[in-house]
Structure 1
Amino acid sequence: MIKALTFDTGGTILDWHSGITSALASVGRKHDLERDWAAIANDYRAQSLRAMVNAGSDSPAEFNIDDVHREKLSEIVSSYDLEAFSSEERDKIWRTWHELDCWPDFPQSLQEMRDNFIVASFTILSVSLIVDTAKRNGLTWDAVFSCEMIGRYKILPAAYEQVAKWLVLDPSEIMMVACHNIDLNAARAVGYKTAFVRRPDEWGVAGPPDPDPDEHHDIIAHDFPDLVMQLERYRA
């Protein structure tokens, strides 16, 4: 039986694309700038993810996603000729990561899953970002496991192993929930069960780079209500 559900949070729970696209476009309008803001948001996100995956592989990472978001925003500003953005406006865009809305199907489903399982955010996002977005969206986590706390970031095995130790559970008693095969497959290699939840709009009209779930996942769900229904067979 599954005792705990650990959730990827940045894309599976939070609608970062809409939030960051809107923040960029809002500042751009003040300067009469026309850009493909959705594409810029995706580039910003992709660069940030590349900087975080496997961070801490040689020694514990001494930076977190907030540091990376600031650094990559500076590079985006330079790459897309957005130097007109003031330091205050850039800080407002960066702060948007802490003010993201979650996908509308999640809050009610979280409460239903929490009735039967430990539910925990397990994320490369910073502790403060998860706390801020949880308060904004009325989310109640039983625990927050930020890779920032571990010093090793997903998809390193050490991150998944440490979360299992903190929960005092065998990895086989934990199900990783995400909309990305890379995260799920890394968890599966450590012994977790895996659930793929589709998020076709995560990257806007461009579509996600990894939209099709691998067939070996224990659950493949269209959305969170579907996940709740399929989890019935894993209840203790």
Structure 2
Amino acid sequence: MSLSGIKALTFDTGGTVLDWHTGFREAFAEAGRRHEIDRDWGQVANRFRRLSMEMMLNLGSDGPPGYNFDEAHALSLETLLREEALEAFGDADRRRIAWQAPHRLSAWPDVRDGLAALRDRYIVASFTLLSYRLVIDTSRHNGLTWDAVLSCEGLGMYKLLPQAYQRAAKMLQLPPEACLMVACHPFDLDAAAQVGFRTALVRRPVEWGADASGQAPLPPPGTYDLEVGSFTELSEALT
């Protein structure tokens, strides 16, 4: 498919832009050291991610959302600590994990320069399940500049609902086919394609840690309009 006519790039942010696994793993490990508890903290971080994502995907399908991603982190953490017998983690530990850690996540090394190069030629927007405050804080922390933040918190519909993608394109005053959805998650790209977005897969092989535990297998080559290994590679492909 031709990539001509693209005016805006809409970026998944948690995972595609931000290395959530390392941030959460280190936050859990720090709390574990304080309480002299030893676990496979990478696996704990992955379980925390799954629980919080389950709370967010398709939120809004049954009525106005009653919480945002920050609140989902806090609620998911309570469930996780109970099920993992980690009730020794106190209020300060819980705040560090559910609030401080995600708001200080590091971007992947290619993101800042690649995003800046793409912004020279396209509208670049964070289109994300994450809360506005989470995107603001992580963007400031990593020196990232967006033309727009399209948080599902403000759209009132969360991905993977088709209305979320339609509303994002409408906010940019563009038809869906003028938008390129950029994500490392096939489920996000598949949902975007269903409403007419063009799609670019960015491979993040260690998103779920070095052993790729929890990483879904990627679809065969050619499924999406572009497949790249970094934002800099994406910029070069769109030159």
Fold shared per TM-score above 0.5: yes
How many residue pairs get aligned? The number is: 232
- Gap regions ≥5 residues in structure 2: none
Aligned structure 1 segments of 4 or more residues deviating by more than 3 angstroms: none
Would you say the 8 A contact 1:62–1:151 is kept in 2?
Answer: no
State the identity %: 48
Q: How does 1:60-139 map to 2 (within 5 A)?
A: 60-95=64-99, 96-139=101-144
- Report whether the alignment pairs 1:220 with 2:227: yes
Answer 1 or 2: which has greater helix percent.
Answer: 1
TM-score by structure 2 length?
0.95
* Range with greater deviation from structure 2 (90-99 or 167-176): 90-99
Shift of 1:18: 0.2
Task: Determine the structure 1 residue equivalent to 2:16.
Answer: 12
* Match status 1:150 vs 2:155: yes
Note the C-alpha offset of 1:209: 2.3
Q: Please report the TM-score for the alignment, with normalisation by the length of structure 1.
A: 0.96
Comparing 52-61 and 168-177, the one that deviates more: 52-61
Equivalent AA in structure 2 for residue 129 of structure 1: L
2:196 matches 1:196: no
User: Does 2:172 correspond to 1:167?
Assistant: yes
Equivalent pair of 1:60/1:151 in contact (CA under 8 Å): yes
Cα RMSD, aligned residues only: 1.0
- CA-CA distance at 1:205 after TM superposition: 2.4
- Bigger mean CA deviation after superposition, 210-219 or 156-165: 210-219
Q: Determine the C-alpha separation between the residues in 2 that align with 1:49 and 1:37.
A: 18
Structure 1 residue 89 displacement after superposition: 1.2
Report the AA paired with residue 27 of structure 2. Answer: A
Structure 2 CA distance for aligned equivalents of residues 210 and 173 of structure 1: 28
Question: Deviation at 1:179?
Answer: 0.4
CA distance in 1, matches of 2:24, 2:163: 30
The one-letter code sitting in structure 2 at the alignment partner of 1:11 is G
Q: Secondary structure at the match of 1:206?
A: coil
Instruction: Indicate the residue corresponding to 1:180 in structure 2.
Output: 185
2 CA distance for matches of 1:130 and 1:163?
A: 16
Aligned mates of 2:187, 2:125 — CA distance in 1:
19
Q: Which moved more, 1:134-143 or 1:88-97?
A: 88-97
Where 1:205 maps in the other structure, the secondary structure is coil
Deviation at 1:210, TM superposition (A): 2.2
Alignment partner of 1:59 is 2:63 = yes
